[in-house]
Chain A
Amino acid sequence: MPGLLSSPVCLTVIWFLSWSLRPSHAQIQTDEASGVQYAHLESNVTMACGKSQIRTPVVWHLNSSSVLPWHKVTSDGTLVLLYVDHSAQGNYSCHDDRGLLLHSVKLRLGHPPGLLSISCQVPNHTHVRCSWVESVKTFLPAKYSASFRGNGKEWRPCVVDVIRKHCDVDHPFFWTTIHTLRVTETNALGSETTSVRIRLNELLKPDPPESLLVETLEGYPKRLVVSWNIPSSWPLHDAFPLMFQIRYRPQGSIYWSEVYSEHSPVVIFDALAGHLHQFQIRVRDEVNSESQWSDWTPVFLIRPWEVSSTPESTEDRFADYFFPFNTKPETSTAKSHNSVHPEDEGNLGLVILLVLFSVVILTTVLSLIFVLWVRQRRRNHVTKQELTSMVKMKSMPI
């Protein structure tokens, strides 16, 4: 029997049973090594005066003061604090009748962890950051552990930053329908695990574009050139195209004009001459329309080029100017934008084609008239012949 009891299997079973049968929310947890006792707020807290049984009466002090919160002391010198609140926290010490220190303990009060409110940010296809907020204020130091997995896959760690209360996963298996994040918060009074199920493709939200710059064009009082950089957190690869949305308006107007573009820079052709304009830009993954737009960048203020001596018709004077940028705004709302295409030289070909087309049409019409004329002439000729033969027949003696 002793052999059986000391066997590793038996010891493991005993340890497991003792672990699993312990109360889930121990009211009081004492950390012997650090001399800190943790207890639930709004409960009764019992503090013994050391391990040995005390026969003589003892005196309890809180932070070296004999004034204690609502309490009672039992015959064996144990202090029972009743329905404790935050004011009951502090350093407790018990002394014998000669004032000799017998035992001291620090009391910390709080709550066990509750469920966490978790939200995840997906700034690109290679990184997920999930952060959380406690639903229950525990007032106690906590530890967190987090793990992350795709549907039907193994759990992998989500690297925790305890101070900022978030965790990071690099290179997730992005093209999985559902991912699960599990965060466990543990403090001296217990632990709680919160799980959330997320769809990365719907949470994808790039960081805003960077270095937004709007410049004037000398000699063009209605044009502005908008340029920017892609978010530095976005992978610079063909596989991850972006769609940018620029919005602008004269300061004071409530209506925004919008331009969509896949590339920087873009030329705005309909700025209001002489007015200060506000510009903002945001970005979204171009492929996945279910993903989210980034936040807007801060407002950029600019006034188009102007010179007091410039006549009103400056814009017309430069109307045939060929702008060197390749700008292809995809769509626009509220106002129209004439994008400049480098293929303008192709217009000559178009003109030639149109001339050829007109010649062909003209030939067709002329041929049609000719055919109708020939047909009509033939019909007249036949009718004439018929009439002649009839006259001849009539004149013949029967």
Chain B
Amino acid sequence: MKLLLDSSSSLLFSLLLAQLPVFTSASPVPQRRPTDMDKLSNQTKNLLKLTQELLREHAFDSDVEPHRFRSLPEMSNRSANDLNNLELKPTLSQLHADLKLYEHHFEWLNKVSKKHHHPALPKLVEMIREMKSLINLLHRQMLRVEAPRLTQVTPSLPPHLPYQFDVLQSSHELLQHFKLFCDWAYRAFISLKPKVSAVQ
């Protein structure tokens, strides 16, 4: 009898497990499974949104940019024409290298913000987490299409920031740059989507 009871419990458990795929697939409209390029563009857009929120919530009215960061990815020589002629592997490699560089800068900002108890800290932590996830996803895509990983540039980060004002200013500068980077990267990912399908 004990055996029967045990087997009944197991059956019950199995039935419950069997319901899981039913729950997960019970969507009103059957949707196309997102590709990795879709995920890359979606995550980039999410990062862009987070950046814009941070800039909005901690508005710092300044047209003067102090140029504290000397080693940020070069964005100032990119024009719309460049997006028409993107090559898959070099672009993925470059975006990966650029993101790694931004990750270093934001981790530095996170560290100094902690010291100065910057109110944007929780969102900054969330941003870094999202950034890391995007980097991993991008790396997976690079492996899939055999795009090389570029040599990492050592970032030159500003020295000690003595005042809260310096932190705010640095944060503003970094976020302004990163916002434009995300805008570019998103457009690059959606432009490259057909090229990835051709390779795979």
- Other-chain contact of B76, A150, A235, A289 (Cβ < 8 Å): A150
A353 touches B22 (CB 8 A): yes
Contacts of A290 in B (CB 8 A): 52
Q: A173-B77, A353-B25, A354-B26 are in contact. Are A288 and B5 (CB under 8 A)?
A: no
Across the interface, name the chain A residue whose C-beta is closest to B26: A353
A175 touches B25 (CB 8 A): no
Contacts of B97 in A (CB 8 A): none
A177 touches B52 (CB 8 A): no
Give the distance in Å from the alpha carbon of A194 to the alpha carbon of B52 in the complex: 30
User: A173-203 CB contact bits vs B (8 Å, 1 = yes)?
Assistant: 1111110000000000000000001000100
CB distance from B82 to the nearest CB of A (A): 9
Q: A171-B79, A237-B84 are in contact. Are A177 and B177 (CB under 8 A)?
A: yes
B76 touches A364 (CB 8 A): no
Contact-residue size bin, chain A (C-beta under 8 Å from the other chain): 35 or more
| B95 on interface, CB distance cutoff 8 Å | no
| A363 on interface, CB distance cutoff 8 Å | yes
CB distance from B170 to the nearest CB of A (A): 14
A356 touches B22 (CB 8 A): yes
A151 touches B65 (CB 8 A): yes
Q: A178-B65, A354-B26 are in contact. Are A367 and B76 (CB under 8 A)?
A: no
User: A97-136 CB contact bits vs B (8 Å, 1 = yes)?
Assistant: 0000000000000000000000000001110000000000
Contacts of A150 in B (CB 8 A): 76
| A241 on interface, CB distance cutoff 8 Å | yes
Give the distance in Å from the alpha carbon of A357 to the alpha carbon of B177 in the complex: 51
| A238 on interface, CB distance cutoff 8 Å | yes
CB distance from A287 to the nearest CB of B (A): 6
| A1 on interface, CB distance cutoff 8 Å | no
Contacts of B4 in A (CB 8 A): 374
Contact-residue size bin, chain B (C-beta under 8 Å from the other chain): 35 or more
Contacts of B80 in A (CB 8 A): 124-126, 171, 174, 235, 239-240
- Which among B117-125, B137-145, B157-165, B178-186 touches the partner chain? B178-186
146-197 of chain B: CB within 8 A of chain A: 176-177, 179-181, 183-184, 186-188, 190-191, 193-194
A175 touches B75 (CB 8 A): yes
Give the distance in Å from the alpha carbon of A296 to the alpha carbon of B22 in the complex: 46
| B63 on interface, CB distance cutoff 8 Å | yes
Give the distance in Å from the alpha carbon of A151 to the alpha carbon of B64 in the complex: 10
Contacts of B193 in A (CB 8 A): 238
Contacts of B22 in A (CB 8 A): 353, 356-357, 360
B180 touches A177 (CB 8 A): yes
131-162 of chain A: CB within 8 A of chain B: 150-153
| B45 on interface, CB distance cutoff 8 Å | yes
- Other-chain contact of A287, B5, B29, B181, B187 (Cβ < 8 Å): B187
CB distance from A355 to the nearest CB of B (A): 10
Q: A151-B65, A378-B1 are in contact. Are A173 and B78 (CB under 8 A)?
A: yes
Contacts of A265 in B (CB 8 A): none
Contacts of B45 in A (CB 8 A): 287
User: A213-247 CB contact bits vs B (8 Å, 1 = yes)?
Assistant: 00000000000000000000001011111000000
- Which among A13-21, A82-90, A343-351 touches the partner chain? A343-351
Contacts of A354 in B (CB 8 A): 26
| A341 on interface, CB distance cutoff 8 Å | yes
| A165 on interface, CB distance cutoff 8 Å | no
Q: A177-B176, A178-B63, A374-B1 are in contact. Are A288 and B75 (CB under 8 A)?
A: no
Known: A239-B188, A240-B80. 4 other contacts (CB 8 A): A153-B76, A238-B194, A364-B16, A370-B8
4 nearest CB pairs, A to B: A125-B80, A239-B187, A346-B30, A239-B83
Chain B residues with a Cβ under 8 A of chain A: 1, 4-5, 8-9, 11-12, 15-16, 18-19, 22, 25-26, 28-30, 45, 48-49, 52, 63, 65, 67, 75-81, 83-84, 176-177, 179-181, 183-184, 186-188, 190-191, 193-194
List 19 A-B residue pairs with CB atoms under 8 Å apart, sorted by A's residue number: A124-B80, A175-B76, A175-B181, A176-B180, A201-B179, A201-B180, A235-B80, A238-B190, A239-B84, A239-B187, A240-B187, A287-B183, A360-B15, A364-B16, A364-B19, A368-B12, A371-B8, A371-B12, A374-B4
Chain A residues with a Cβ under 8 A of chain B: 124-126, 150-153, 171-178, 197, 201, 235, 237-241, 287-290, 341, 343, 346, 349-350, 353-354, 356-357, 360-361, 363-364, 367-368, 370-371, 374-375, 378
